[in-house]
Amino acid sequence: MPPASEGPCLVITAKNGYLRYNASWVIGRILRDYESWMDPGVRMKLEEMLEQRRQYMRRNTRKGTPVPKPGQTGLCISIYEPSKSKTAGEPSYDLIYWSGLAVATVQLAVAAIPFATSGDWSILIITVCGTIFAFITGGLPQWKAEKWACRRKSPNGMPAVPRCRRTRKFLAEDQHWN
């Protein structure tokens, strides 16, 4: 089991201000990898803030002293809202989803090599059976319920506020989740 959280993160209920530490591995991962999926507009604003800080440091430093680009700046808050067009807890069939079929095909092709070269069909049969059982298991209704479980409607927003190097992120829940 992965650790409960990747780093310090506070979860705040917006309606009443109730504060608790994050114990969700999923929220921890989302926030840990934030800089890789950050909205381009937020990234541009953050770079603008870093450049403004650098200019401020240049103005307040002796002439000729090199001023490196700062690694941090003031508070930059990003607010993300759930999609109004997609239903919460319903998978979307994207490239990553369909890549599973490509991987299974490549896996079966590699398993067919011993059959083609030396007539040993056991590896191919084991791989075919394992792949079939994996797809059957993944298609079971209880697995869908566990994998895509989430709140459909929320009476109060619960933004997550991590203590992070350069920004603060809010994952806002809202009434429009179906």
Nearest to 78 by CA among 147, 164, 145: 164
> In angstroms, rounded to a whole number, what is the distance separating the alpha carbons of residues 136 and 43?
42
Q: Which DSSP state fits 169?
A: E
> In angstroms, rounded to a whole number, what is the distance separating the alpha carbons of residues 104 and 134?
10
Nearest to 177 by CA among 156, 158, 147, 154: 154
The pLDDT score that the predictor gives to residue 3 is 59
The pLDDT score that the predictor gives to residue 126 is 96
> In angstroms, rounded to a whole number, what is the distance separating the alpha carbons of residues 9 and 34?
13
The pLDDT score that the predictor gives to residue 153 is 64
Is 75 within 8 Å of 165 (Cβ atoms)? no
The pLDDT score that the predictor gives to residue 160 is 46
The pLDDT averaged over each successive group of 10 residues in the chain (178 residues) is: 64 76 79 83 87 88 85 76 75 85 95 94 95 90 76 55 49 44
> In angstroms, rounded to a whole number, what is the distance separating the alpha carbons of residues 174 and 157?
6
The pLDDT score that the predictor gives to residue 125 is 96
Contacts for 82 with CB less than 8 Å, ≥ 6 apart? 88, 172, 173, 174, 176, 177
Q: Sort strands 160-162 and 9-12 into parallel, antiparallel or unpaired.
A: antiparallel
pTM of the predicted protein model: 0.51
Provide the 3-class DSSP secondary structure of residue 171.
strand
> In angstroms, rounded to a whole number, what is the distance separating the alpha carbons of residues 78 and 28?
16
Q: How far is CA 96 from the centre of its chain?
A: 13
